Structure 1
């Protein structure tokens, strides 16, 4: 195996672990909520805490790699991930579980941008599209395998084993990183922008907290205050970014229509799907009384549709272009969400199957095209910066999508019957998923652009 494929394998294994960690834990959330006696809204913080950890460390991960070495950072990330996975399984209370999930996110956040930047710098031009296809293949295999396996674990054992099951893979990734990575240590860049890091973390934390509180038993003023604080921290960071020479998250790179457009698609498709799927888990298990194993198995249908779409997308990307593929993806994905609005009883199983299949095809086209398109304009140091923005937003899309739809559903449950509240929540999600159609015209076919001016 050549060196670049060794590097790619380390990154893909870490990426696989990250995806498994998100989707396997999702199917266990109803069980965690019951066991630790917390609400459905609160239990979503099992995922949110992980995302916050990722956000906290991702922006400085490449600086740490430059200072201490990529091999050392990649190995440390997977060791930290392994230790905290075991501690999550042993957590005796909900706050304790959230604390270890936060640290687990820090472990995952060290690996992803460093590994992706190393990999993408070794695969240039058309080869980058091929490695993007491999990345998306991993992104499909993980959601296909982890929810049904997680459901079986929950049904026949305990949700705690959902976290313990990550250990063999993360320890393997740590060993391979130590043995294979031999990237020369680059001179460390400027000191990390700690003020910017605090502003970014505060913005995300308060926005998620506001969305989580809104529509629950907490006073509306508390939720509104958190949301306003989140908006305020976001504006402060934008101002800080304009004045900083080396901002922690370089928003100037968003002038790349390919990067900003791909990020928007990720919020509209995988992000919203995370929320849709979370509502589906609670609706099917708590209302229609499906087992955790059966609800998890629907992700196999999603992954199957996405796998077919990925194969087709890899062949037609150059011919059709990102704009057409994104448009098709948005339409198919929203159509799949819309089918869930017709699910009333356990007898509507064919409708659920069709819904997850359609969402899978749309999700596969959208996510694969976004992964291929996002960093096309960058190389060298800009790849590292672009990778940080891309991965932070990729992870944030999952949490914000889940928090937004949980908030909408909680508000609707106050005034509507259970079935109607879920149906209307999915209808709103389907409409929200079509919003990026309004700006797809900006993704005009163009020659490879050079974005060196983004550093100015």
Structure 2
């Protein structure tokens, strides 16, 4: 197996572990709540503590990799993550569980930026669209399948096995790091852990803005839409959740399209298409017309998946196309930190707007219209992006 394939597999395994830890517990929350006597707020912190750990550690990952090496950093990350899994599964109180989830985040937060830097550095620029498509497939499939797995463990055994089950893939990933990554001395580097000079690169800073305003804003749109569909249109929770199936179908199409056409077209037309599709679908979702035609929801959610994932897939590739090898670690740290903030941004902003406008009858439409407008916010930056001919000659010094 070529070295770049080995490095890519390690990164994808680490990414899958992170996503599993985020989503596998969702269906086990009721069992956890009953056994530990947790409040709804405390249950929220079971997830938030992990996200907090991820966000806090990301800026330190690149600097640590410079000092002790990427191989040692990944092993340390996996050790902390595995320890957090074991302790979380053994927690006897909700307070202890929240604390061990923070430890999991501090460990898992190093897996993505360091592994991502290794994988994209090992890939030639012209092949990074293929790597991104594999990343996006993991990002699609793991959240779709893991809640059912967690629910099965909670129903058939104990919610604690949700954490204990993560130990085996964690050990497997550590074994691959030991077997495949060189153990040489770290290369000295004068770059800071978060090199803000990289934000001068048009592809990187535009890709980060895209991630904030399209997939990030979609997280808020999804929250508002779920409340609207159940509270106003009378859909059940099962029917609302089922709309993520056409969303996933649209996302799969977007991943394939981005991989197929990125090198030929460049990021600009793909991003413009994704932004336009998501914005129009959200406006249709906010329209009073939908109340009389709820059958169109399946198509609208497929378009939302297509638009959001077309932007996230294209942005992920574009962000690293023009980054030289020496700066890949710092760029990966910036990208990972922006991704975490994007997940908070859309939910916090649109949720606050909805809370402010309720109980006005147009509150849902106003929040969704704001989401559609924010989706188009990066338009001036996208229009200035280089064409496909200049795509692979944009180094940052």
Give the TM-score range, shorter chain.
0.7 to 0.9
2:128 and 2:317 in contact (8 A); partners too: yes
Give RMSD over aligned pairs. Answer: 3.5
Number of the residue aligned with 2:137: 137
**Cα offset, 1:355, TM superposition:** 3.0
2:170 counterpart residue number: 170
Q: Which residue of the partner structure matches residue 372 of structure 2?
A: 430
Deviations 1:52-86 (A, max 9, x none): 32232222223323333333321232232233234
2:274–2:311 CA contact under 8 A, matched in 1: yes
Structure 2 distance, partners of 1:157, 1:337, is: 41
1:405-449 CA distances to partner (integer Å, 9 max, x unpaired)? Answer: 222232233x336xx544433332222112112332221326234
**Quick check: 246-255 or 348-357, which moved more?**
348-357
The residue that corresponds to 1:111 in the other structure is 111
Match of 1:368 among 310, 313, 322: 313
Mapped pair 1:442 → 2:390: no
Relative to the length of structure 1, the TM-score reads: 0.74
Alpha carbons 1:136, 1:310 under 8 Å: kept: yes
Post-superposition CA distance 1:375-431 (Å, at most 9, x none): 111122211111111111112111222222222232233x336xx544433332222
Aligned length: 392
Query: Is 1:330 matched up with 2:332?
Result: no
Contact 1:53 1:105 survives alignment (8 Å): yes
- 2:338 equivalent among 393, 410, 424: 393
1:146 CA drift (Å): 3.0
Determine the C-alpha separation between the residues in 2 that align with 1:29 and 1:423: 31
1:435 alignment partner, SS class: coil
Match of 1:305 in 2: 250
The one-character-per-residue Cα deviations of 1:203-223 (angstroms, maximum 9, x if unpaired) are xxxxxxxxxxxxxxxxxxxxx
Equivalent residue, structure 1, for 2:211: 266
1:253 aligns with 2:255: no
Which residue is equivalent to 2:54? 54
Measure, in 2, the Cα distance between the counterparts of 1:2 and 1:156. Answer: 41
C-alpha displacement at 1:165, in angstroms?
5.0
8 Å Cα contact 1:49/1:105 also seen in 2? yes
Conserved 8 A contact 2:10-2:177: yes
Q: Does the Cα contact within 8 Å between 2:284 and 2:290 map onto a contact in 1?
A: no
Residue 143 of structure 2 aligns to a residue whose secondary structure is helix
Q: Is the CA contact (8 Å cut-off) linking 1:84 and 1:104 kept in structure 2?
A: yes
| Mapping for residues 74-153 of structure 1, pairs under 5 Å | 74-89=74-89, 91=91, 95-149=95-149
1:416 paired to 2:360: yes
SS in 2 for 1:439: helix
Partner of 1:226: none
Q: Tell me if structure 1 keeps the 8 A contact 2:58–2:337.
A: yes
Give the secondary structure class of the aligned counterpart of 2:378.
helix
Q: What is aligned with 1:8?
A: 8
Q: Provide structure 1 residue ranges, at least 5 long, that are not aligned to the other structure.
A: 191-245
Matches of 1:9 and 1:343 in 2, distance apart? 47
2-structure distance, mates of 1:4, 1:166? 25
Cα distance in 2 for residues equivalent to 1:348 and 1:23: 32
- 1:185 equivalent in structure 2: 185
Seen in structure 2, the aligned counterparts of structure 1 residues 46 and 87 have a Cα distance that, compared at 3 Å, is same
**In 1, distance between residues paired with 2:292 and 2:157?**
28
Cα separation, 2, equivalents of 1:423 and 1:62: 42
Query: CA–CA distance in 2 between the matches of 1:164 and 1:401?
Result: 32
User: TM-score normalized by structure 2?
Assistant: 0.84
Q: 1:85 to 1:407 in 2, by over 3 A?
A: farther
The alpha-carbon distance between structure 1 residues 345 and 332, as it changes in their structure 2 partners (threshold 3 A), is: closer
Deviations 1:272-292 (A, max 9, x none): 122233445566678857456
* Residue number among 33, 37, 62 corresponding to 2:39 in the alignment: 37
Gaps of 5+ in 2: none
Distance change >3 Å, CA 183–CA 270, structure 1 → 2: farther
Deviates more, 1:330-339 or 1:109-118: 330-339
Aligned to 1:353: 298
Cα distance in 1, alignment partners of residues 228 and 50 from structure 2: 24
Residues of 1 paired with 2:328 and 2:88: CA distance? 33
Q: CA deviation at 1:10?
A: 0.8
- What's the CA shift string for 1:165-206, capped at 9, x where partnerless? 54443333223222322253323446xxxxxxxxxxxxxxxx
- Verify the 8 A CA contact 1:51 1:396 in the aligned structure 2: no
Contact 1:62–1:114 (Cα < 8 Å) also in 2: yes
